Amino acid sequence: MADSTVASPRSSVPSHEDRPVYVIGGGPGGLAAAYALRARGVRAVVLEKSDRVGASWRRHYDRLRLHTTRRLSALPGLPIPRSFGRWVARDNVVRYLEKYAEHHRLEIVTGVEVSRVEPAPDNTGWLLRASGGRELTGSAVVVATGFNHTPRVPAWPGRDTYSGVFLHAREYRDARPYAGRDVLVVGVGNTGAEIAVDLVEGGAARVRLSVRTAPHILRRSTLGWAAQFTGILVRRLPVRLVDALAGPLAGPLAGPLARISVPDLSAHGLPRPATGLYSRVTEGAIPVQDVGLVKAVRKGKVEVVAAVERFENGTVVLADGNRIESEVVIAATGYQRALEGLVGHLDVLDCRGRPVVHGGRSPRNAPDLYFTGFTNPISGMLRELALDAQKIARTVARRAERRRAARGRAERGRAAR
């Protein structure tokens, strides 16, 4: 069944050009793409499964602030208000996204979850199967369902026997429920690091941080110079050169950026990583932006422990054989993109479930299918979403113009016969 409340056709049998571009996801990437498309005269309809835009941002923990600067985090067509400060708080990011959708009068339909994208029956454009039995046909599709889509929890043996409180970081809001308690945070990405600091400041009795692979840690800003600025400057440089500058090695051989950025925490169980910073980025591991972790580790308020191996008899067994009897375990173990059900059948994902292309490029076997927000660049996610939106809009508009020109030539040829 076609849903006329989502996209009303201009005729009973709409042509490819009459169909809108459907944008799946009402987060920053989806909103930016919708605006950029409309700015080029292309109708874009955002389909958001929740009841409001920015759903994933609303679920983040309370203390979260952007690690990228306000000026370099704005989406196309609307700056972030100066009053939000240099490092924008989570609630203000949500306010900005709401304002963005309102300011640009974006066409957004909430409460619609797309479950599958297929080639349209006439082999032009795409058919979207959505909640409520909807079948929507679009000239193109932009998938912007988000980097942090589905919580990932390792299949630790014995976890179902753990009698303490267990939660994924997605469920964490603030430290109040854990005041006076012994808490183990598993995972030392930006989320795990910030939650550990939040717990210390919120009065947890003991905070331990389980680390499998030592992270690269950078100051969010040094003497006013944001780490994001460096990320932008080095992004196009050779990986080996950036690795050398950042310094993968400990001691006097550590690179200049590493020595300037943070002290060596090896004595506290957090050595400098053995692999290069940019090599890790290309594998999907973004450096940890320090917003208090270094100080907390040096003062012993956050204790670094080995990786979690399993749960046994109410205890957490670590890779080094030690056992921990924490009252609470918070798994800051990341997210899955969860694109397999949506587009996995189209052969457009790599072996890790990530799109094979992003931005203004479509997979060779799936023209007019675009992806945004599935990379985690060193130069800043929101900045790259803004750039991707412009690239997608430019490509979509160019392809539409070519189709119109071809159709005009065909009509002129028929008229001349």
Domain boundaries, the chain: 16-149+337-416, 153-332
Spatial contact of 30 and 24, defined as CB atoms under 8 Å apart: yes
Element holding 97 (H helix, E strand): helix 90-103
Note the pLDDT of residue 244.
74
Q: Which residues are CB-neighbours of 37 under 8 A, at least 6 positions away? A: 21, 23, 43, 44, 142, 392, 393, 396, 397
User: What is the C-alpha R_g of the chain?
Assistant: 24
Nearest-angstrom CA–CA distance, 282 and 2: 42
Cβ-based neighbour number of residue 6 at 10 Å: 19
Note the pLDDT of residue 283.
67
CATH of domain 16-149+337-416: 3.50.50.60
Tens digits of pLDDT across the chain (417 residues): 334 345 443 333 445 567 999 999 999 999 999 999 999 999 999 999 999 999 999 999 999 999 999 999 999 999 999 999 999 999 999 999 999 999 999 999 999 999 999 999 988 899 999 999 999 999 999 999 988 889 999 999 999 999 999 999 999 999 999 999 999 999 999 999 999 999 999 999 999 999 998 888 888 888 888 888 888 887 777 877 777 766 544 334 345 555 556 788 989 988 887 777 767 676 667 888 999 999 999 999 999 999 999 999 889 999 999 999 999 999 999 998 899 999 999 999 999 899 999 999 999 999 999 999 998 888 899 999 999 999 999 999 999 888 888 777 777 777 777
Nearest-angstrom CA–CA distance, 258 and 217: 8
Give 128-136's long-range contacts (Cβ < 8 A, gap of 24+). Answer: 128/22, 128/24, 128/47, 130/3, 130/47, 131/49, 132/3, 133/1, 134/1, 134/2, 134/3, 134/6, 135/1, 135/2, 135/3, 136/2, 136/3, 136/6, 136/7, 136/22, 136/47
Instruction: Select 153-332's CATH number: 3.90.1640.10, 3.50.30.50, 3.50.50.60, 3.40.50.620.
Output: 3.50.50.60
For the full predicted model, state whether its pTM sits above 0.85: yes
Nearest-angstrom CA–CA distance, 291 and 307: 23
225-226 and 217-219 as β-strands: parallel, antiparallel, unpaired? unpaired
Q: 315-338 b/e with 16+ CB inside 10 Å = b?
A: bbbbeeeeebebbbbbbbbbbebe
Note the pLDDT of residue 413.
77
Spatial contact of 170 and 59, defined as CB atoms under 8 Å apart: yes
Task: Strands of 62-214 (E only): list them.
Answer: 107-110, 114-119, 126-130, 134-138, 140-143, 150-151, 165-168, 182-186, 206-210
In the structure encoding, which two tokens stand for residue 353, read together?
Answer: 């479930």
Among the listed residues 168, 135, 176, the one whose alpha carbon sits nearest the alpha carbon of residue 149 = 168
Note the pLDDT of residue 122.
87
Nearest-angstrom CA–CA distance, 277 and 348: 28
16-149+337-416 and 153-332 share one fold: yes
Nearest-angstrom CA–CA distance, 406 and 232: 40
Note the pLDDT of residue 378.
82
Q: Which residues are CB-neighbours of 178 under 8 A, at least 6 positions away? A: 199, 202, 204, 328
Nearest-angstrom CA–CA distance, 389 and 367: 17
